[in-house]
Structure 1
Amino acid sequence: MKVSTVNDLIAACLLWAVFLFLIVYGSDLVYDHQQPAKIVYSINGEEAPVTEKAEPKQQISLAERLQQADIENGRKVFGQCGLCHTPAKNGPARVGPPLYGIVGRPFASASEYTYSRAMRAENGKTWDFATLDTYLASPRKYIPGTAMAFNGVKDEKDRADLILYLRSLSDEPVELPHLNP
């Protein structure tokens, strides 16, 4: 092997080392890595001390959440759903069934979609507001064995916003539940 070839290999290795160094340490300069204000959990499995007591969250009824819901935020939240579902009237089935007219529709009723056995077993149920709220919180917990791989919308406000948006996907939207005085 020639000396110039060995020198070229050494130079190439050094250039790669400099390149990787710049990538690793250069990214630290560009992106700020701050420590969290409070450590929530411990990696090694030990329980972290809690410094503040969380105030109990006030439960708001679904009817109240729907009255306060924001349809535009619901449209944004639907972006997660739009990967698998279509909101269009007479829209095609994708990975999941089309959701136009979902509020008030019977379970597993979109003829152009093949539902999972678990969803078909829910025969006779209807997608009302309460059912959608529970299902969207955790689809696999509500219907074990469902083909829907989505983990759910955990935030109650986002879920109410999404349900209000789903309600709007209809020629005749279902009336919102009334608030009890």
Structure 2
Amino acid sequence: MDDSEGDYEKGKRLYKLRCLHCHTINTTAEKQGPTLNGIMGRTSGTLPGYTYSDANKNKSIFILAARSVSVDDSARTVAKYRSRPWLIKFCYLNDNVVWTRETMDEYLKNPKKFMPGTKMIYNGLKKAEDRADLIKYIEVESAKPIQ
């Protein structure tokens, strides 16, 4: 995903329709989900004061050729690639998800598939353009100071 992708205004509308009822941004008000203030670049499950699911606190991702792919069982996945050593040099495991445009895109596509056990009940955004728009809005707004 390119940094220039996404339309801020369309993302703002999507945020109001799909996210606002559970998440805040640029405010200290609390809702069912964690605030999105400063989410970009933050490790999943680490915002102080919010009780995350174990999935959000302990999720690992598998990196293969610079593309993040969610895995449910890290040990099984590594064992699978041991039989193909030419791939191993391109992969490693992260300790947890860091929210970037790419990881946010994968998560928003299907939160329950990306992070089985997450408390987020949202089914996801199927259209890549919608995800890019929403990510653009979150990226811009979450970087602003809290009002």
Same topology, TM > 0.5? yes
Pick 1 or 2: higher relative contact order, CA cutoff 8 A, min separation 6. 2
Q: Paired residue for 2:19? A: 81
Output the CA distance in 2 between the equivalents of 1:119 and 1:107.
6
Q: Paired residue for 2:37? A: 100
Superposition deviation, residue 171 in structure 1? 3.7
CA deviations on 1:101-156 (whole Å, 9 max, x unpaired) are: 11111111211210011111125321011100000000000001111000001111
**Secondary structure at 1:153 match in 2:** coil
1:142 maps onto 2:142 in alignment: no
- Amino acid in structure 2 at the alignment position of 1:164: K
Q: Is the 8 A contact 1:106 1:125 kept in 2?
A: yes
Superposition deviation, residue 87 in structure 1? 0.8
Structure 2 residues without counterparts, runs of 5 or longer: 60-94
Output the CA distance in 1 between the equivalents of 2:4 and 2:55.
32
Task: Flag the structure with larger Rg.
Answer: 1
Q: Is the 8 A contact 2:5 2:136 kept in 1?
A: no
Paired residues, what number? 108
Superposition deviation, residue 161 in structure 1? 0.5
Q: Is the 8 A contact 2:7 2:133 kept in 1?
A: yes
Output the CA distance in 1 between the equivalents of 2:122 and 2:32.
12
Q: CA RMSD in A?
A: 1.6
Q: Paired residue for 2:56? A: 119
Superposition deviation, residue 67 in structure 1? 2.0
**Secondary structure at 1:67 match in 2:** coil
- Amino acid in structure 1 at the alignment position of 2:143: S
- Amino acid in structure 2 at the alignment position of 1:72: E
- Amino acid in structure 2 at the alignment position of 1:92: A
Structure 1 residues without counterparts, runs of 5 or longer: 1-61, 173-181
**Secondary structure at 1:127 match in 2:** coil
**Secondary structure at 1:141 match in 2:** helix
Q: Is the 8 A contact 1:93 1:112 kept in 2?
A: no
CA deviations on 1:24-48 (whole Å, 9 max, x unpaired) are: xxxxxxxxxxxxxxxxxxxxxxxxx
Aligned with 1:132 (options 104, 108, 116): 104
Q: Paired residue for 2:143? A: 170
Give percent identity, aligned residues only: 37
- Correspondence 1:149-160 to 2 at 5 A: 149-160=121-132
